[in-house]
Amino acid sequence: MSKRVAILISGGGSNMVALANSMVGDHPARPVLVISNDPNAGGLAKARDLGIETAVVDHREYPNDRNAFEEVLHATLEAYTPDIVCLAGFMRILTEGFTAKYEGRMLNIHPSLLPKYKGLHTHARALEAGDLEHGCSVHEVTAALDDGPVLGQARIAVEKGDTPERLAARLLPLEHALYPAVLRRYATMDRTPVLIS
Ligand code: GAR
């Protein structure tokens, strides 16, 4: 039986689309739900166009109450009994209590070569540091932010003239290759790291 994958987004959802498009044919998983914390996320319409059910759990409806937000997020997810949860540009920090519920079955993509540059503004930070290479990582989600075991990385050379925006744009196609490659392995319990350069 196919593994059931839920994907959490906050924005344009290009990684979600790459994941969804990869889960066809003999792929061991299928997308069952896309959730956004932002009702205006562009990825919601893309998910619907792909025939995937969508839901919104708007964090702004739970001001200063992360637990209440996560309770609804959890209930919304569990209605679809996901085997795997993929964070794909999901820009909310999750509590230890929430991440514990999905231990060993939640992935995230982060736009840096972890353990470098956890958190925000990764492209600017790589440029400021004078790094010669940059990249993205897919890792298992644990309680600490952007800190779980790395299951794959893709690398690009930093070029003269790169700005944070240009670097982000050059990296995005590698994210779209890396995340599906890791998910495909992960769905069969294969944790061999995927390396793309
Ligand atoms: C991606 O670049 C992803 O790596 C990043 O947000 C972007 C989402 O784009 N994620 C993070 O920064 C997580 N901390 P998308 O909505 O087009 O997939």
pLDDT, residue 52, reads 98
DSSP 8-state class, residue 59: G
40, exposed or middle or buried, with CB in 10 Å at 0-12, 13-18, 19+? exposed
- 110 touches ligand 1 (CB under 6 Å): yes
- 8 touches ligand 1 (CB under 6 Å): no
Helix, strand, coil % in the chain, rounded to nearest 5 = 35, 25, 40
- 77 touches ligand 1 (CB under 6 Å): no
**How far, in Å, is the centroid of ligand 1 from the Cα of 123?**
12
The verdict on whether omega for the bond into residue 149 sits within 30 degrees of 0, i.e. cis, is no
**Tens digit of pLDDT for each residue in 49-74?**
999 999 999 999 999 999 999 999 99
* Spatial contact of 164 and 180, defined as CB atoms under 8 Å apart: no
pLDDT, residue 62, reads 97
Evaluate if pTM is beyond 0.85: yes
**Tens digit of pLDDT for each residue in 166-190?**
999 999 999 999 999 999 999 999 9
Side-chain-side CA neighbours of residue 189 (13 Å): 0
* Spatial contact of 62 and 72, defined as CB atoms under 8 Å apart: yes
pLDDT band at 150 (very low <50, low <70, confident <90, very high): very high
Those residues whose C-beta lies under 8 Å from the C-beta of residue 24, and which sit 6 or more positions away, are none
pLDDT, residue 51, reads 98
Residue 93 is which amino acid?
I
Domain ranges of the chain: 3-196
SS3 assignment for 86-124: EECCCCCCCCHHHHHHCCCCEEEEECCCCCCCCCCCHHH
**What are the backbone dihedrals phi and psi of residue 97, each rounded to the nearest 5 degrees, phi first?**
-60, -40
Apex 176 CA angle, 17 and 190, nearest 5: 100
- 139 touches ligand 1 (CB under 6 Å): no
State the average pLDDT over residues 85-95: 98
Ligand 1 probe mutation, 9, 109, 138, 156, most atoms within 8 A of CB: 109
pLDDT band at 23 (very low <50, low <70, confident <90, very high): very high
State the average pLDDT over residues 89-115: 98
Provide CATH code, domain 3-196: 3.40.50.170
Beta strands in 16-132 (DSSP E): 29-36, 54-56, 84-87, 106-110
State the average pLDDT over residues 39-43: 98
Average pLDDT over the chain reads: 98
